[in-house]
Chains A and B, each alone.
Chain A
Amino acid sequence: MATSLKVNGTSHQVDLPDDVPLLWVLRDEVGLTGTKFGCGVAACGACTVHIDGEAVRSCQVTLSDVWGDVTTIEGIGSPDAMATIQQAWVDHQVAQCGYCQSGQIMQAAALLAENPDPTDTDIDDAMQGNLCRCGTYPRIRAAIQDAALKLKEV
């Protein structure tokens, strides 16, 4: 039986068992591969997406439990039309291997939506679930602070 799902404003009918995690629906069925698989146990944050604006680990939300509209990294901007936060990531040359950065950006976007003026401690608290094995944390922090300033200017 098909389940309907709204991702980045587009509706999809998905024919997969109810217990398949949203991550694997997005990647292998919908074809949105920007959301990454890192651990499968909510320990790395690479799979972070928004459901109704809230940052969630898509490896832990089953298809039948998706409670609202899903936004992925592809939904917030594109190479030709980046979101402010993505542009801040470019300005600070954050990514190294880049694999975790979709999740980092989605987590940071949710933080800034909730808290437009985060302190270092706020950033620590919000971002500590997102692992980066390349160790890009100093530039992630700088990019978040910069994006916060730019978003206030808008």
Chain B
Amino acid sequence: MASVGKILRRTFLIGSAAVVGGVAFGAYYVSRPAPNPLKPGEGEAALNPFVLIDQNGVTLFAPRAEMGQGVKTTWAALIAEELDVDLDQVTVLHGPAAAAYYNSAMMGESLPNKGYDISNFQHNLAEALGVVGRVLSLQVTGGSTSMKDGFERMRLAGASARETLKQAAANRLDVDPSALKTASGFVIAPDGDKIAYTELAIEAAAIEAAEAPLRDPSKWRYLGRTQPRLDMAGKVTGTAEFGVDVRLPGMKFAAVRMNPKLGGVMNGYDDSAAKTMPGVEKVVNLGTGVAVVANNTWLANQAVEAIDVDWGDAPYPSETDEIFSHIAKAFDDAPNSTMRDDGDVTTLPDGASEITAEYKVPYLAHATMEPMNATALFTGNALELWCGNQAPTLIQMRVANVANLDTEAVQIHTTYLGGGFGRRGEFDFGEIATKVAMAMPNVPVQTTWSREEDMRHDFYRPGAMARMRGAVKDGQAVLIDGQVAAQSCAQQAVNRYTGLPAAGADKVLVEGFFNQPYAVPNYRMSGHVVDLDIPVGFWRSVGNSHNGFFHETFMDELALAADRDPLDFRLELAKSEHAPSAGCLEAVREMSNWTGQTAKGVGRGVALAYSFGTPVAQVIEVVDEDGTIRINKAWIACDMGLALDPDNVKAQMFGGMMYGLSAACFGEITFSEGEVEQFNFPDYDALRMHTAPQVEVRVLETNRHMGGAGEPGTPPSMPALGNALFDLTGERARTLPLINQFNLLI
């Protein structure tokens, strides 16, 4: 079977012009503007960028980051469904960084519609915008887009390869292709004789790729059904290769220390003690930090800690309080966006009672279990980089720039990711490893960050504040007027990715704020961009992660003001606006036997959030055990339309919820003297076995448009928990983390 290393070596050797070994490969319209990155060797056929066949087997390419969401398996299932191969008989590889592997769904998310009310016209426009993803070579895993992106294209890739193989068999047998069938990697002749795809590879490669219509979903064998994950055996036996597990002949190990005053300069350093420490080979000046290369990661880290560095100041206020004062000031500026402005919020309807509330949530770290790392080999005129990453083509461009090479001279090897959550869409770990390797030409060097370095050098979920004003009348919400203020991760990321200043309305800042599926007649939601230079980035569910808390805590406050059951209150407003959202609320009501009443010592809260095309409702139950509060149970209902792998969707839903609950309970990044005050898990803890709730998930499939799975479980978790704590204690949670206000079990 093909190894990606072999394919890449060959790709590298022959460049983009030549065809090797006389074997042509079919062009395929999916890849037309982008060359097929797979260069088949003697006896191999790359029928399109996603299917490679040689004498020994079939290799499928799933060029999306496997960071736990199961994309490798479901992506392969999309191809296999039409190609007629068995998932347990094929090899699935991530493949190289390549323009052909662009994400077609990502740009569609940038349209300024609410999502849930998208018209078919807008839906088509969103699909057309996928072309922009192609032009920009956006090979990105993020935004819960993989299935939206791959759903049609990968089935088409499988169908095309299948029909091409059938044509090859038809030519050989001198029959019409329509007389042939396919199953489990074979073309089956009218007389029942079987020809393996592997035998047909070379003949198929000589044929112009066929196009074929997609099968009716009633014929599916894989899609819509739970598949065993292809990465499971490796991950339970310690044999799955993460970035930090890459081992190369003669490899060295490095540790790094960057300025803890983020973005500050390095005035100088004294490495005299470090240089003579055991195992140390070299101290590397990184400009704004230092690295030590040694024969062992731990020895490298001991030495890098022994360097005395004079750090320059941070370019932002040095204390948390000053930072939040700065955030609050942004409310005084004209809003960056007002994406919802229905009715008239300036006039209080007659007889309505008004309430207001202010909310505040902290900066958050991603804290992936695998600390940032990358392995690089620099030879002077070429660079290879091994790492878990969410954007291979972008990181390729960035490290090429660092090494002053053409992108074609850089190979990116994408391993499994020990957690992504948005952190591994950044490039800093790759750039640092590249700089370290450039100081050690022809020696592969793995640069691993300590947990402390990882925690204190993140692109954080921005701290955010919201000011909410609303009104109720006759048991209903009649007015919501909200403002959110935070740094813009989108603007900062555009600047970071392209070097160009970003401007314009930032939809990401207000997602989960302006587009919630409630029929409230007077409804205005504005976003205020905070101008601060703290590094911020995309944290699982991004803007929804703070806005879900703001919006759904306020909905609870409105329900209370209206003297209504909080679930009924929401359901009534959602029913006429978005049926799938209402369906999720009805499902959790039934699953949890919600009555609106709880026993003494028990509290329950509900929340609904629509994000990434998927509404998710959650009910969370807390219990008071001798004064200590424990999260006991959680019920989740989601509706993403078609769920391609229901059990995997369930895992993403409760995983997303746990990630949100961890942040809601314990997560807080604070600053003192310009430095992050949290170092490691003892001061940035998460849910653990004894603090995690029992959970039940229901996957509904009524949504007309396909939604995401990786992120939508996160936004409703934080308000559902806060609302449960209110039900238990009568104290409203308006700031996070909750451990600062409630006696939670730790």
Seen from chain A, the residues whose Cβ lies within 8 Å of a Cβ on chain B are 16-17, 20-21, 23-24, 27-29, 31-41, 43-44, 46, 72-74, 77-79, 82, 86, 89-90, 93-102, 105, 123-125, 127-141
Contact = CB atoms under 8 A, between A and B. Distances in A.
B253 interface: yes
Contacts of A32: 238
Given A36-B418, A79-B239, A20 B695 contact: no
Contacts of A137: 658, 687-689, 692
Contact of B371 (A20, A27, A37, A127): A37
A95 B653 CA distance: 14
B368 interface: yes
Given A20-B299, A36-B418, A90-B232, A46 B238 contact: no
27 contacts: A29-B296, A32-B238, A35-B238, A37-B297, A43-B681, A72-B238, A74-B239, A78-B237, A79-B234, A82-B236, A93-B232, A95-B68, A95-B232, A95-B235, A96-B652, A98-B416, A105-B236, A129-B688, A130-B688, A132-B369, A133-B367, A134-B369, A135-B658, A135-B661, A137-B687, A137-B692, A141-B689
Contacts of B228: 90, 93
Contact of A27 (B297, B418, B419, B689): B297
A35 B242 CA distance: 11
Contacts of A20: 296, 298-299
Contacts of B656: 135
B659 A133 contact: yes
B338 interface: no
A130 B689 contact: yes
Interface centre among A31, A38, A73, A98 (most CB of B within 10 A): A98
A41 B681 CA distance: 9
B296 A94 contact: no
Nearest to B369: A99
B659 A36 contact: no
A96 B655 contact: yes
Given A74-B239, A99-B370, A82 B694 contact: no
Nearest to A123: B689
Nearest to A21: B298
Given A41-B682, A78-B239, A133-B369, A89 B232 contact: yes
Given A97-B68, A99-B242, 15 more contacts: A28-B296, A32-B238, A36-B369, A37-B371, A43-B682, A74-B239, A82-B236, A95-B229, A97-B418, A99-B368, A99-B418, A127-B688, A131-B681, A135-B658, A138-B654
Given A34-B238, A94-B236, A95-B231, A41 B689 contact: no
Interface string B209-237: 00000000000000000001101111111
A100 B231 CA distance: 14
Contacts of B681: 38-39, 41, 43-44, 131
Contacts of A16: 279, 296, 299
Contacts of B695: 138
A138 B231 CA distance: 19
Contacts of A44: 369, 681
Contact of B69 (A96, A101, A124, A133): A96
Contacts of A100: 369
Nearest to B242: A99
A117 B229 CA distance: 28
A73 B232 contact: no
A99 to B, nearest CB: 3
A96 B647 CA distance: 12
B231 A98 contact: yes
A138 B657 CA distance: 12
A133 B233 contact: no
Contacts of B70: 96
Contacts of B418: 36, 97-99
A127 B242 CA distance: 23
B374 to A, nearest CB: 15
B369 A138 contact: no
Contact of A82 (B229, B233, B648): B233
A86 B237 contact: yes
A134 B655 contact: yes
Contact of A101 (B235, B244, B690): B235
